[in-house]
Amino acid sequence: MIRKIMKIFSNLFGNNSKISWKDIACNISSKSGNTLDKFITQPNMIICTSTNENPQSKYGGTWELIDKEFKSQYITTSDKDYVTKSNCSTFKVWASLAGHTANIAIHINPSVTVADSTIEYGKIDWERIGFSKPSISYKGFIATADGGNGIIMIEIDNTGAIRSIDVVCKTSGGSIASGNEFRCDTTITLSYSQMLDSYCNKFYWKKISN
């Protein structure tokens, strides 16, 4: 049977190597006028595209975007990419994106004494690192300073503001002097609705109906 079909296509198109199955599928019509490619995809089928383009125009029917993934990439940013900077001489963020995960490294050199009080150092522009403004604040991130003698608890709220909210250290007074750099490394897992299309290269669509 397969050989007969191949022979028919060979007779129709000759030895033109540029003719693909997709070409054939798009040009063979049923009695109802639908091309064959619209029958290839059926309800509940899931396909992956490289852009956020609804497959409806190509395959017909109704489709729903059900997931997407970050393109693997490493983003380095500088001070000018942030809304504000205060109480520090250095405020930088690096982000590594892949799948649904953003691995974020925060580097701060405070210009004030870090103690058991809330100190804000600046704001991240969330969209500069691949995702829209979250609806929640992220707390409990740990940074180390003073040669490992100090531990700083970091908070990032939904506006992108980065603050130190608590300090534990070996030195007397329970504080870390200004000029002691600290770095916080953390991982944030995101839902696909938070991830910006321009940072993604896999979009998963489910066919709902023909």
How does pLDDT run across 180-209, given as a tens digit for each residue? 999 989 899 999 999 999 999 999 999 999
- Stronger pLDDT, 31 or 49, i.e. the higher one: 49
- Core vs surface per residue 81-106: b (16+ CB within 10 A) or e: ebeebebbeebbbbbbbeebebebeb
Average pLDDT, the chain: 82
**CATH number of the 72-194 domain:** 2.60.40.1830
Q: 152-164: per-residue pLDDT in tens?
A: 999 999 889 999 9
- Percentage of the chain beyond pLDDT 90 is 47
pTM confidence score: 0.74
Q: What is the DSSP string of 141-156?
A: EEEEEGGGTEEEEEEE
Residue 169 pLDDT: 84
Supply the Cα-derived Rg of the chain in whole angstroms. Answer: 27
DSSP state of 195: B
| CATH 2.60.40.1830 location in the chain | 72-194
